[in-house]
Amino acid sequence: MDKVISTTATISHRLAIVVLTSMVFSGALLLFGMEPLVGRLLTPYFGGAAHVWLTCLMFYQAMLLIGYLYAHLFAKKIGGWHLLLLAIPLINLPLNIHAEPNQHAPLLNILSILLVHVALPFIVLSTTAVVAQLWLYRSSVGKYYEPYPLYAASNAGSLIALVGYTFIAEPLVGLRIQSLIWTGTYVVYGMLVVAAWFLLRPGREQETLKHENRVAITNETIATVTYMRWLLLSSLPSAFLLAVTNFIALEVGSFPLTWVAPLALYLGSFIVTFRTGGGVPRYLKILWPEILLIDFALYLWGPSHWLAIIGHLAVFFLICLVAHGTLYERRPPAGLLTNFYLIIALGGWIGGAAISLLAPFLFKGLFEYPILIILFSFSFWWCGDKSFALYRPGTSRLAMGGRVLIIIVMLVFIGMESWASWQEPIMFRHRNFYGTYRIKDESLVEGMSGGLRKLLHGRTLHGSQLLDPDLRKTPVSYFYPGGGIAEVYETTPAPRKIAVLGLGAGAVAAYAQQSDSVTYYEIDPDNEKIARQWFTYLDDSMGKIRVVVGDGRLSMQKAVHENKGYDIIHMDAFTGDGIPTHLLTREAMEIYLSRLAENGVIIFHVSNRYYELRPVIKSTSAGLNLYGAINVPATSDKLKYYQNATWCVVLARNPERLQPLVNKGWIRLGKDDGLSGS
């Protein structure tokens, strides 16, 4: 930590700073280690939905606000009695969550669970950074050290916690052990807080402070417009954090890495800008208009490629640097730091609540993203100093002309892309806790009548149907006759008892015969309404169709008596790029096997733009003594416009059960299947 040390600073002062910094660092480590841990515990109950993490973030911001409010209200009185608060979280330790999910009111359900299991430890830990800075400011040590750099130390601990959890704890350590390690670390943290108090003894040097003519600053010295600027500069990055996370998670999946990457960059921007001598980097004060335009273009392009995702994250970080750097440049004297941090926390919560609570009800698409870009442009103009001006005296005409030309070209591109998206034949839009839906009708290039109707979840195709009345019973997209999925149903004799995890447009129902029963397990209650209103697969099916709302794994686990003996368990929850990874664990596989008929099969539809899931399934199945086979998809030149190449893995207890598929060209899982994994 950067520090300004007077020659009169003693060894005890240095020791106090080391302990205080360790206290702040460990508190942040615990706080931000708890965030992904709780999200990881909670996500499987709600089908891996991206909005679970957004709701958690908004809740964390609310608890942070309560912690900062406590520090602000009792700023002059926080003494040794604060140590007693450290014992309160012990009531809820070790961290654990037992939830009864309610898919019809998931937002309130998640908030109530978090309130019961997480609120107490989070509030206590959230006070750490502000209390530490207050204690330093009110002690004799505060004469030699600036308190604001402790905030950077706090964010460094937060960043290390997030990275460590993602790349070490999450992949290598089980959830129970993670919880126990967290509890042990909390005990160490408590010892550091006690040590910091006894070393600093804040409040005993008040007369010394007065003697040094430290000015007593009151709330009245801060103009209302300053509070408004603090609020704007803290709320917009917080809102953008959730918007970017949602934008990416809906595309590539909701799991710790997609949660942590934006949050780590968000915290990293605080570390860079709140260090001693921090603020907005000079080049960003010049280039901020171009950065915002690039971000708008990336939004229109979408996170359709890893490079685009990296671009989104990079621009997000630069925007946070500008906002948080401007916030730092407008910081008050240390005597008003609780006011400052309280407004930052309030802005953080307002931004999080706007995206988690308001945006899903106000918008049918992810329109908050471009709106935030526009608001950022206003905030930088209003809150920045003269160095933010688009034109600087002395700038050459050539340089200014080149910059104007670049901006014009970018605006033209944005306009063209926006016009193209507005011209799309969208029949229906819907947004809820689980994501965004669009119904899109397209004409068929091959001259067939009626056209093609598509169901898009985010940017991913979740089903389609031919609109010609004579052809609508023929499944298309990934389910077309002759594809991998069709071959599994063709080689399984009727009568068949079928379970499908993931509804989509309901195309699997087209393969059900009169003697078959099909049970869909669908996490999103609105999906069935959409499938029945805009598609006819469910109503046209000859089989007995039932839709169970809830997470597939948990629903199958609960209904012990009614869902045994399935001939086919069809895992169709992985075509969307937001994959529910908890459905691929060994524990999940054991649940499927307990519901599978002796000669039944489990089919995994794993067509995916980002993830190669076949080696994962192969590795998991090997540990359960299962036999498997993979299909060889048709090449694009052999597929029609309304057909998609389909990748499948089928598992069975009996190797002979897979022989009919092998006869159709499938490859048995083994050393020569071309996949990694054991």
DSSP-assigned states of every residue in 361-403:
HH-SSSTHHHHHHHHHHHHHHHHS-GGG-S--TT--HHHHHHH
Does 504 share its domain with 619? yes
> What is the pLDDT averaged over residues 654-676?
79
**Structural domain boundaries enclosing 172:** 11-390
Distance between CA atoms of residues 35 and 259, nearest Å:
10
* 264-268, 281-285, 452-456: segment of lowest average pLDDT: 281-285
> What is the pLDDT averaged over residues 473-492?
90
Q: Answer whether residue 677 is part of any domain.
A: no
Q: Answer whether residue 459 is part of any domain.
A: no
What's the helix, strand, coil split of the chain in %, to 5? 60, 10, 30
* Domain limit, last residue, from 358, 390, 422: 390
Q: Answer whether residue 127 is part of any domain.
A: yes
Does 525 share its domain with 386? no
- 499 token code pair: 């379970």
Q: Answer whether residue 451 is part of any domain.
A: no
- Cβ-based neighbours of 104, under 8 Å, separated by 6 or more: 525, 549
Distance between CA atoms of residues 68 and 234, nearest Å:
14
- 280 token code pair: 């907005």
Read off the DSSP letter of residue 477. Answer: B
CA distances from 72 to 59, 67, 134, 436, 450 (A): 20, 9, 10, 40, 65
- Cβ-based neighbours of 496, under 8 Å, separated by 6 or more: 489, 512, 513, 515, 516, 517, 567, 568
- Cβ-based neighbours of 423, under 8 Å, separated by 6 or more: none
- Tell me, letter by letter, the H, E, C secondary structure of 565-591: CEEEEEECCCCCCCCCHHHHCHHHHHH
Q: Is the pLDDT of residue 581 over 70?
A: no
Confidence band, pLDDT 50/70/90 cuts, at residue 6: very low
* 181-195, 197-211, 316-330, 592-606: segment of lowest average pLDDT: 197-211
Q: Is the pLDDT of residue 601 over 70?
A: yes
Q: Answer whether residue 294 is part of any domain.
A: yes
pLDDT tens track for 33-63: 888 888 888 877 776 666 777 888 888 888 8
* Domain limit, last residue, from 345, 366, 390: 390
- 431 token code pair: 């947004």
pTM of the predicted model as reported, rounded to 2 decimal places: 0.74
Number of neighbouring beta carbons within 10 Å of residue 185: 15
Number of domains in the chain: 2
Higher pLDDT, residue 250 or 542: 542
Q: Is the pLDDT of residue 362 over 70?
A: yes
* Domain limit, last residue, from 350, 373, 390: 390
Contact 162, 264 (CB under 8 A): yes
Sheet order of strands, 435-442 included: 426-432, 435-442, 452-457, 460-466
% residues pLDDT > 70 (the chain): 77
> What is the pLDDT averaged over residues 324-333?
85
Q: Is the pLDDT of residue 65 over 50?
A: yes
Confidence band, pLDDT 50/70/90 cuts, at residue 544: very high
> What is the pLDDT averaged over residues 174-185?
85
pLDDT tens track for 19-34: 888 888 888 899 888 8
pLDDT of residue 562: 60
Q: Answer whether residue 447 is part of any domain.
A: no
Tell me the CATH number at 478.
Answer: 3.40.50.150
Q: Answer whether residue 356 is part of any domain.
A: yes
Does 149 share its domain with 289? yes
Tell me the CATH number at 161.
Answer: 1.20.1250.20
Distance between CA atoms of residues 34 and 175, nearest Å:
11
Number of neighbouring beta carbons within 10 Å of residue 173: 14
Higher pLDDT, residue 362 or 558: 362
Confidence band, pLDDT 50/70/90 cuts, at residue 610: low
Contact 488, 648 (CB under 8 A): yes
Helix (H, G, I), strand (E, B) or coil at 668: strand
Confidence band, pLDDT 50/70/90 cuts, at residue 340: confident
Closest CA to 507 of 484, 551, 541: 541
* 274-288, 427-441, 637-651: segment of lowest average pLDDT: 274-288
- Cβ-based neighbours of 373, under 8 Å, separated by 6 or more: 292, 295, 296, 299
Q: Is the pLDDT of residue 654 over 50?
A: yes
Q: Answer whether residue 449 is part of any domain.
A: no
Higher pLDDT, residue 395 or 582: 582
